[in-house]
């Protein structure tokens, strides 16, 4: 049975402008220029250049045009039925236009390199398909992390090819002979063994390294050096030189062929620049790569001309007016969003600098105060999610280096005197203690806890272990050196 009833609901909806601003806040400076150029390409009413300041500047703004002969755009937009959305879209290319792609240089990928080497091997059609399938299952690090049995089943179901495990093993052995050395291994131990065996050196330490990897790999990974020395009847110096041979090997052979676009060694472009002039902080946005934007005068005048026509407007006129007005509004919204983005970034960064003023004066990490997103949100009057978007992927250039905005946020800890300190300060002291330890007898988490407690920090051993892991520092046993 169909029932009708009235109900009241409170819903929060974001306008297109708000959504656009949220997305722009997340974009770092290094990508901002690209984002603006994309918008210019999609909206012909948006142009690069400074806004004109003459009397006609107002005409460039995509607000409602000044009434001419009692003209109102809304009158024409309200006429007849609503125009379907698909009629308001445009494509600036016809099927006859020649679209040229701009080529760019990029090195061959890891898998392309393996397939090119496969083409140099004499294999029948079936074995070549099997080899290509195995290569497709090798990950970006260079490992085959799938069981051969599973690959046999996949081949039978997906490619209708019956192959034995022995046949696939033989093909895998061929692939493991490819460059880079160690590719196609099913484990780290196998990867290192493939590399050390390819050296074919008369150096006795290479042979010793191979023996350690093949027979004492577990002891090697856990740094139980005393056991290795005892069982192989060697001295510390011989073990040290054998380990040097192992440390020259590449645990991730596929890494050297990683996609250049995804590498982590991209240059960092700061979003803010902070200069210290005798204790006076001067903050500025790094907008050198962000062009000035303006609304197209041509499109503004086009709308004025369409509005000024004396004759009765046709449906085509209405569609044109709607399209032009839509593009002008979109251009104005985008310009306003860019301005609001800059204002929001500056307000947020100024609040962070004021909050962490002691740190920004000399760069001493120990002077960082505990600070969370809520603290800056309360100071600026902005939402916590907005602060989070500003801090995400943003950097500031200071007199003591380029720093991530995320690094200024940390939880609070208490000292024995009841004073609140930043967890970043504790991590700094922890890193200093580990950096100055005797590597032959590295400090355990218990000893590190004692050191911090003696310095007045109320901290538990599990918290020390957590901070050590966040600093990407291994446990004491794995930090031990000969």
pTM of the model as a whole: 0.54
Domain boundary among 146, 175, 204: 175
| Confidence at residue 223, expressed as pLDDT on a 0 to 100 scale | 84
Q: Is residue 180 part of a domain?
A: no
Shortest CA distance to 350 belongs to which of 268, 402, 405, 288? 405
For 282, the enclosing helix (H) or strand (E) is: strand 280-285
Beta strands at 420-422 and 412-414: parallel, antiparallel or unpaired: antiparallel
Task: Give the separation between CA 134 and CA 445, rounded to whole angstroms.
Answer: 44
Q: Is residue 239 part of a domain?
A: yes
Q: Is residue 43 part of a domain?
A: yes
Residues 208 and 239 in one domain: yes
Residues 480 and 417 in one domain: yes
Task: Give the separation between CA 285 and CA 32, rounded to whole angstroms.
Answer: 12
Residues 171 and 202 in one domain: no
Residues 428 and 482 in one domain: yes
Q: Is residue 401 part of a domain?
A: no
**CATH number of domain containing 421:** 1.10.10.60
Task: Give the separation between CA 480 and CA 475, rounded to whole angstroms.
Answer: 9
Q: Is residue 406 part of a domain?
A: no
Residues 123 and 164 in one domain: yes
Q: Is residue 464 part of a domain?
A: yes
The residue segments making up the domain with residue 316 are 31-79+293-336
Residues 150 and 203 in one domain: no
> Cα separations (Å) of 222 from 78, 209, 475?
77, 16, 10
Sequence-ordered strand ranges (E) for 140-246: none
Domain total for the chain?
4
Residues 436 and 478 in one domain: yes
Q: Which letter does DSSP use for residue 97 in this model?
A: S
Q: Is residue 352 part of a domain?
A: no
Phi, psi dihedrals of residue 324, rounded to the nearest 5°: -65, -45
Domain boundary among 153, 175, 197: 175
Each of the 482 residues of the chain gets a pLDDT tens digit; together they read: 666 777 776 655 666 667 777 778 877 877 888 888 888 888 888 888 776 654 444 444 444 444 444 444 444 444 444 445 444 454 555 555 555 554 544 556 888 889 889 888 888 888 898 999 999 899 888 999 889 988 988 888 888 888 888 999 999 999 999 988 899 999 999 999 999 988 877 788 888 999 999 999 998 888 888 899 999 998 988 898 888 888 889 988 887 665 544 444 557 788 889 988 887 888 988 877 677 888 888 878 877 777 776 556 677 777 877 888 888 888 888 888 888 888 898 999 999 999 988 888 888 877 888 888 888 999 999 888 888 888 888 899 988 888 888 888 877 676 776 666 777 778 888 888 888 888 888 888 888 888 888 888 888 888 888 888 888 888 887 787 76
Domain boundary among 175, 208, 229: 175
CB crowding 193-231: b at 16 or more within 10 Å, else e: bbbbeebeeeeebbebbbebbeebbebbeebebeebbee
Q: Is residue 84 part of a domain?
A: no
| Contact between residue 426 and residue 413 where contact means Cβ atoms under 8 Å apart | yes
């Amino acid at each position: 049975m169909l029932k009708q009833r009235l109900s009241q609901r409170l819903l929060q909806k974001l306008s297109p402008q708000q959504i656009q601003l949220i997305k722009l806040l997340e974009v770092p400076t290094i990508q901002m220029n690209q984002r603006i150029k994309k918008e210019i390409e999609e909206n012909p009413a948006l142009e690069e250049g400074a806004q004109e300041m003459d009397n006609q500047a107002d005409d460039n703004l995509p607000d409602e045009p000044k009434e001419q002969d009692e003209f109102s755009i809304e009158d024409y937009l309200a006429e007849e039925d609503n125009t379907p959305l698909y009629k308001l879209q445009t494509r600036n290319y016809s099927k006859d236009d020649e679209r040229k792609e701009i080529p760019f240089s990029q090195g061959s990928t890891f898998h392309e390199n393996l397939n090119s080497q496969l083409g140099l091997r004499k294999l029948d059609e079936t074995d070549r398909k099997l080899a290509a399938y195995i290569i497709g299952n090798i990950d970006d690090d260079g490992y085959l992390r799938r069981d051969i049995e599973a690959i046999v089943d996949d081949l039978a179901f997906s490619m209708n090819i019956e192959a034995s495990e022995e046949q696939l093993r033989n093909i895998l052995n061929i692939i493991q002979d490819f460059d880079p050395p160690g590719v196609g291994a099913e484990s780290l131990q196998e990867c290192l063994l493939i590399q050390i065996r390819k050296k074919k050196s008369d150096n006795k330490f290479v042979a010793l390294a191979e023996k350690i990897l093949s027979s004492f790999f577990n002891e090697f990974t856990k740094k139980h050096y005393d056991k290795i020395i005892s069982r192989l009847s060697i001295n510390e110096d011989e073990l040290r030189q054998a380990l040097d041979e192992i440390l020259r090997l590449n645990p991730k052979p596929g890494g050297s062929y990683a996609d250049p676009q995804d590498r982590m060694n991209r240059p960092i472009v700061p979003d803010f620049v902070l200069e210290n002039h005798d204790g006076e902080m001067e903050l500025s946005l790094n907008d050198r790569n962000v062009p000035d934007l303006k609304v197209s005068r041509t499109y503004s005048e086009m709308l004025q001309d369409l509005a000024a026509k004396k004759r009765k407007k046709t449906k085509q006129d209405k569609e044109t007016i709607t399209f032009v007005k839509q593009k002008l509004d979109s251009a104005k919204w985008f310009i306003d969003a860019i301005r609001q983005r800059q204002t929001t970034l500056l307000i947020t960064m100024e609040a962070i600098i004021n909050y962490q003023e002691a740190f920004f004066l000399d760069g001493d990490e120990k002077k960082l105060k505990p600070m969370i997103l809520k603290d800056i949100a309360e100071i600026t009057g902005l939402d916590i999610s907005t602060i989070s978007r500003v801090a995400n992927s943003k950097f500031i250039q200071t007199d003591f280096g380029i720093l991530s905005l995320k690094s200024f946020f940390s939880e609070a800890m208490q000292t024995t005197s009841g004073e609140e300190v930043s967890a970043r300060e504790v991590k700094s002291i922890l890193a200093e203690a580990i950096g100055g330890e005797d590597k032959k007898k590295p400090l355990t988490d218990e000893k590190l806890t004692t050191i911090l407690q003696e310095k007045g920090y109320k901290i538990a051993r599990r918290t020390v272990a957590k901070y050590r892991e966040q600093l990407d520092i291994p446990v004491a046993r794995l930090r031990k050196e000969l």
